[in-house]
């Protein structure tokens, strides 16, 4: 081999070894998992500045004199919750959202759950996994309620004070556990059956039959329900209704352990 060619050969060998090692390292070095963004405590505190004692500030409606109606949405947050919040924000309407713990846990970084609170809506407990509570043991009922309460409080700073039993399944044991957990039981007197008949016009028509003081049952997990909201609001507004949260409907936070179906 010519003398001048020896350095070139050595350089080529070094490059080959370096490339081979680099390839091996890329193939065997474990990749760090992507972690969800952590909530900034200071930013969260600023976003929650409008909340007083864990609840959105009351808008001081006197529902003893006004024609008030409380729209309530169960089973979220889900893929249709954000468009619903957009609609409600555009119309300056506040509602009550009864959330499922598992859905809150699946909510990316808790952003929808926090948005519900930040935009002045009331948030309520709808159990962790949506079982018929009356069929559970006392310990299981407690877990269903407390696990959801704790997660929502961790994400939003709000300790929920209202609760809706899945399927309306309740009994004295459920009520007793609600009282221990500091929750009022909120039922309804207008059922839109939006889970059964997913036809926006029909859902809007049923909601439009509300009377002063009504609590209207809806579900924000159905696209058809969200599509029904504009017509629903139009119908009730033409009748002179004011849209309020459940607590605003009664002029106070409902009492733990008591059951409410309408004002």
Query: How does residue 41 score in pLDDT terms, banded at 50, 70 and 90?
Result: low
d(C-alpha 155, C-alpha 134), whole Å: 28
Domains of the chain and CATH, by start: 59-260 (3.20.20.370)
CA neighbor of 52 nearest in space, from 154, 148, 157: 157
Three-class secondary structure of residue 123 per DSSP = strand
| pLDDT mean over 85-91 | 98
Q: What percent of the chain has pLDDT over 70?
A: 78
Q: CB under 8 Å to 125, separation ≥6 — which residues?
A: 98, 99, 145, 148, 149, 152, 160, 162, 163, 164, 183
55-56 and 214-219 as β-strands: parallel, antiparallel, unpaired? Answer: unpaired
Residue 91 has pLDDT above 60, yes or no: yes
| pLDDT mean over 121-143 | 98
CA 154 to chain centre: 13
pLDDT per position as a tens digit, 167-179: 999 999 999 999 9
d(C-alpha 97, C-alpha 121), whole Å: 7
List the single range of 6-10, 79-83, 201-205 with lowest mean pLDDT.
Answer: 6-10
Q: What does DSSP assign to residue 107?
A: S
CA 194 to chain centre: 18
| pLDDT mean over 150-157 | 97
d(C-alpha 160, C-alpha 149), whole Å: 6
d(C-alpha 181, C-alpha 144), whole Å: 11
Query: How does residue 11 score in pLDDT terms, banded at 50, 70 and 90?
Result: very low
pTM (predicted TM-score): 0.80
CB atoms within 10 A of CB 157: 16
Catalytic residues, which ones?
A: 74, 219
Structure tokens at 164: 């809706």
């Amino acid at each position: 081999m010519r003398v001048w060619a020896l350095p070139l050969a050595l350089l080529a060998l070094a490059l080959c070894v370096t490339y081979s090692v680099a390839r091996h390292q890329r193939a065997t070095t474990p990749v760090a998992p992507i972690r969800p963004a952590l909530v900034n405590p200071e930013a969260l505190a600023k976003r929650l500045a409008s909340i007083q004692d864990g609840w959105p500030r009351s808008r001081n409606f006197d529902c003893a004199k006004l024609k008030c109606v409380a729209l309530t949405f169960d089973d979220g947050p889900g893929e249709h919750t954000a468009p619903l919040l957009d609609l409600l924000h555009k119309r300056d309407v506040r509602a009550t959202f009864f959330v499922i713990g598992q859905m809150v846990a699946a909510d990316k970084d808790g952003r929808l759950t926090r948005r519900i609170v930040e935009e002045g809506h009331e948030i309520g407990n709808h159990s962790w996994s949506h079982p018929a509570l009356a069929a559970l043991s006392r310990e299981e009922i407690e877990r269903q309620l407390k696990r959801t309460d704790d997660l929502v409080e961790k994400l939003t700073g709000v300790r929920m004070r209202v609760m809706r039993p899945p399927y309306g399944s309740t009994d004295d044991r459920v009520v007793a556990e609600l009282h221990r957990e500091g929750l009022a039981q909120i039922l309804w007197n207008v059922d839109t059956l939006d889970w059964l008949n997913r036809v926006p016009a029909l859902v809007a028509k049923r909601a439009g039959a509300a009377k002063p003081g009504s609590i209207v049952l809806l579900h924000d997990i159905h696209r058809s329900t969200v599509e029904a909201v504009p017509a629903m609001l139009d119908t009730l507004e033409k009748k002179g209704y004011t849209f309020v949260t459940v607590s605003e409907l009664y002029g106070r936070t409902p009492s733990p352990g008591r059951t409410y179906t309408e004002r």
